[in-house]
Amino acid sequence: MILVTGATGFVGKALVELLLTRSIDVSVLIRNEHDQVPGGVIKFISDLTDVVDWEPILQGTTSIVHVAGLAHILKSNSSSSGGDFESINTYGTINFARQAAKRGIKRFVFISSVKANGETTLLGAPFSELDQPSPSDPYGLSKFGAEQGLLEIARQTEMEVVIIRPPLVYGHGVKANFANMMRCVKKGVPLPLGAINNKRSLIALDNLVDFILLCTSHPKAANEVFFISDGEDVSTTVLLKKVAKAYDKSAILLPVPTGILKLLARLMGKKDVVGRLLSTLQVDSNKARQLLNWTPVVTMDEQLKRIVELEK
């Protein structure tokens, strides 16, 4: 049986649905007893802290996919501190994995983040698994700390660990800035983003959960770290055009120079948000493709079209 934590979240929910379609026994760990899970799924209620006794939950489990954690907070006025991220994402994960190893769990798949490596890359110089990680915010630091603890557990025990570092994930149910961007395009709002020449790696939700499932059993995935992406890096401008195409619309994109956008962002207090729209962040997913013989199950255009279709 595979235990999925964070099973009602964006990625966890899609993973559970995939496991059920493959007739794989699955149990889930959720925080709120009122959260709905599919019928036939064993449900456990617990908060992810560093003091939880996981023994009752781990009974009957052979593999774990650990998706749950304190999410990256984009709002500057958030009350979440670096200590919160460390307590939940780092120490909570390590404690969970130690107990899993003692219980004889065979494999522990950890959904980390590209932010364990950093926030940006140079154009044409993507992050790879050989790079020295350099996280720059509490979220990235907490994820990298968890990775280090997990790999140490793998060295000391028989439990196999797999670490996956996805970039921005998009699919049905996506929220935050990506959802806002899609709404603007759908409504025909003119956007001053018609001259952005950056490159961003993204991963479709369908592609990510397919890769996660592969990592729960592939022998060559054991104790490895993987970057994963669609393999189609796009600029912000091109992404907006693809979203418009999914809606059968034409994007209204004004070719405002990036220098002016940066100035306006500073004046409006939106430096971080605009910075993500303008910056480059690429990952090299060749290791996942070559070592595990993995290929994406959907293209970017197909995933965007599915998002639009499921909105109806």
Residues annotated as catalytic (active site), given as ranges: 139
Report the residue count for the chain.
Answer: 312
For CA atoms 258, 264, 267, 270, give the dihedral sign: negative
- What element of type H or E holds 5? strand 2-5
Let me know: does 213 contact 228? Beta carbons within 8 Å.
Answer: no
* CA atoms of 202 and 178, how far apart (whole Å): 11
Q: 129: which DSSP letter?
A: T
| b/e code 12-24 from CB counts within 10 Å (16+ = b) | bbbbbebbeeeee
How many Å separate Cα 234 from the centre of its chain? Answer: 18
**Tokens matching residue 191:** 């956007």
